[in-house]
Amino acid sequence: MLKLMRLEAQRINLRVYFFTALILGGILLLFAYFTANAARVTGETEFMNYRNIL
């Protein structure tokens, strides 16, 4: 019985770790996407300003 409870606790811990990793990974992907998008937009505006100067 104790062994079964210990296995159940390990399984719950693994599930918690899995979902935590999944959520953090999703947040990291969203952050990378928005950062790349912002960099692309600033790159476009810098390019347009540079072109206007010429």
Q: What is the pLDDT of residues 18-33, one digit of tens each?
A: 999 999 999 999 999 9
DSSP E strand stretches across 1-54: none
Residue 2 is predicted with a pLDDT of: 67
pLDDT at 48: 58
Owning domain of residue 41: 22-54
In the predicted model, is pLDDT for residue 12 greater than 60? yes
Is 52 part of any domain? yes
pLDDT at 26: 96
**Is residue 15 in some structural domain?**
no
Could you tell me what percentage of the chain is helix, strand and coil, using 3-state DSSP and rounding each to the nearest 5? 95, 0, 5
Tally of structural domains, the chain = 1
Percent of the chain with pLDDT over 90: 28
Domain annotation covers residue 35: yes
| Residue-level length of the chain | 54
Does 4 map to a domain?
no
CB atoms within 10 A of CB 20: 10
Please write down the long-range contacts of 26-31, taking CB distance under 8 Å and 24 or more positions apart: none
Query: Does some domain include residue 30?
Result: yes
